[in-house]
Amino acid sequence: MATANDSYSNQSSWGPLDTLQAFPSPLEKPVPYFITAFLLFVFYFSIQQAEQTPHTDLPILNPRHKWDFAWVKVKWDFIFNVRHIVEERTKTSPDEPYQVLTDAGDMTILPAVPFANEIRNHEDLSFDRVLDKASVPHEWQTVVIREEMLKIVARVSTRVFGGEKLCRNQAWLKITSEYARTSFLASELLRIFPKPLRSLVHQINPFSRRLQAQVKEARDIINPIVEERRKEKKAALDRDEEEPEYNDCLEWCEESSDDASSDPAMMQLGLSFAALHTTSDLITQVMLDLAKYPDYFEPLRKEITDVIRTDGWSRMGLYKMRLLDSFCKETQRLHPIGIVAMHREATKPITLSNGLELPEGSRIAVSCQRMRDSSVYLDPSRFDGHRYLRMRESLGAGNDGAAHFVSTSPEHLGFGHGQHACPGRFFAANEVKIVLCHLLLKYDWRLAAEAQPKSINFGFTIEVDPKAKLEIRRRTGDLGMKA
C-alpha cells in the first residue's frame, strides 16, 4: 500500500520541483548565483536609468554615459565641476536654455532674459516644492573669519528668533550653527544611492543619525523655554496681572500656532537653516573684499558715523548708509551663493515664450551669469563698491529702487526674483549692515600673510572659502565705541 511519503516521492520525481532540486546549493557553487544576481542588478538599473534619463531636445551639459549605472560620474561632475561646465556653455550660447543632470534629477536652466520676468510670478511654477579671539588692543590676531562670522550671526539672529536668553545659550548656538551643514551632508549622501535604497541607507547614514540627535537636543532646549513662558502667563492671569510680553519670533509663532501641532524647536531650526549660513557667508565675503580693497575703509566709517550722529541706530539710518548698501550689493553680484537662482517646478505642462515645452514635474532654474554680463555692467569682472551708489544718484530719488541692496531684477538675482524672492532679505540686509557697522567702527583687519581666499563650488552652490584667514585687531572706535 502506498504511503503518504511514497505519494510525495512520486510527485517530486518529475516536473518543476525535480528541476529545482537539481540546482546546487549556493554554498556549494556560489558563482552562478553571483552571476544571476549581477545580471538582475544590471537589468534593474537599466530600467531605472531609462526611466530617469530626461527626454529632451535641449542640450545636456553633463550627459550620463551608458555604463554609469548609479549615476556616479554624473553626480560627481555636477557636485565638483558644474560651475566650469556652465561657464563654458555661457561663453558659446549665453541666451539658450540647457539642461543639467543634478544629484536630485534633471534641471532646465533658463537665461535670465527674458525668463526671469516671465516665470517670477507664474502660478504654475511652484517655489514651495522645491570675534572673541581679537582680545588684545592694537595687536594683530589671526582668525579663520568664516567660523567667527557664523558665531556672530548665530547670536544676532537668535536674539530676534528666540529672545535674549536663548541667544546666550552656547549649546543652542552650536546646534543652530551645525544643523544646516548636517542636513546638507545627510541629503547629499542619500542622493548618491538610488531611491529604492534610500530608506535603508537613511537608517545607517551617520549624518542622518546626527541630524536626529540635533533635533532632540533642540527640543530639549526650546520646549522648556516655551513651557516656562506659558506658566508665567498663566501665573500672571491668576494674579489678575498683565501677561509678560516677549518680542521675538518664538513668541510670535506661539501666538499664531495651534498648540496641538506646533513644534517650536523645528520652527527655530528652520529659521536658522535659512538665515545663518547665507548671512554669515555674505558678511565674510564683504570683509574679504574690504581687505582686498582697503581704500573703502575710511569712506565707509565716515558714512556710518555721520548717519548714526543724526539718525541713531534706526532703520532709516541703515537706509541712509548708501555706500555700505552699494558695497554689499556689489559683493553679492560678484560672489552670489549659487550659479543659478529662481528654482521652480512645473505643476502642469506649460509652454514658455520661446516655445520651450515644460512637462508637469519639470524642475527649472534661471542662470545667474547675467550678473557678470558686459552688456549689462561696465567692466563686469572688476569690483566697484561705488557701482550701485552711482546708479542711485543717476536714477534719482524715487526711481532708484533697482540699485538698492534688497531689490531684485533679472540683472541681479542675489535674492532671487518675483513673488518667491527671499522673503527674509530685508531682515538679512539690516542684520548684515548692523554687524558690519560694529566691525568697521571697532576693528581693523587685513588679509593674513600669503592668504589667497578661493570660493568653494559644490554643485550649483558657491561658498566663501571656509579656511580664509584675516588678521584683525581692536581699534579705538569712532563715536567712542570700543570693542
Positive or negative: CA dihedral 77, 210, 268, 150: negative
Segments forming the whole domain that contains residue 318:
126-480
Question: Which amino acid type is present at position 134?
Answer: A
Query: Is residue 10 a part of any domain in this protein?
Result: no
Look at residues 301, 327, 334 and name the one whose alpha carbon lies nearest to residue 385: 327
Pairing of strands 443-447, 469-474: antiparallel
Q: Which residue numbers in the chain have pLDDT < 50? A: 1-21, 23, 47, 50-51, 130, 133-135
Report which residue type is found at 2.
A
Number of domains comprising the chain: 1
For residue 30, what pLDDT is reported?
60
Q: What is the pLDDT of residue 19?
A: 42
Domain presence at residue 189: yes
CA-wise closest residue to 279 among 164, 426, 169: 426
Q: Is the Cβ–Cβ distance between 462 and 456 less than 8 Å?
A: yes
In terms of Cβ atoms closer than 10 Å to its own Cβ (0-12, 13-18, 19+), residue 21 is exposed
pLDDT of residue 29: 59
Round to whole Å and give the CA distance between 165 and 251: 13
How much is the pLDDT for 26? 53
Q: Has residue 67 been placed in a domain?
A: no
Is residue 27, in this structure, part of any structural domain at all? no
Structural domain contains residue 86: no
Grid cell digits, residue 108: 532646465
- Are 379 and 333 in contact by the 8 Å Cβ rule? The answer is no
Report whether 437 belongs to an annotated binding site: no
Q: What percent of the chain has pLDDT over 90?
A: 42
12: in domain: no
All cell numbers assigned to 327: 558695497
Determine, yes or no, domain membership for 107.
no
Q: For the CA atoms of the chain, what is the radius of gyration?
A: 29
Q: What is the pLDDT of residues 134-172, one digit of tens each?
A: 445 568 999 999 999 999 999 999 988 988 889 889 999
State residue 163's pLDDT score.
Answer: 87
3-state secondary structure of 105: strand
What's the CA gap between 320 and 311, in Å, rounded? Answer: 9
CATH number, position 223 = 1.10.630.10
Nearest to 190 by CA among 342, 70, 273: 70
State the pairing for strand pair 461-463/456-458: antiparallel
148 contacts 173 by C-beta, under 8 angstroms: no
> How do the residues of the chain divide into helix, strand and coil, expressed in percent and rounded to 5?
55, 10, 30
**In the prediction, which pLDDT does 101 show?**
79
Q: What angle (nearest 5°) sits at the alpha carbon of residue 148, between those of residues 145 and 154?
A: 135
Domain assignment present for residue 113? The answer is: no
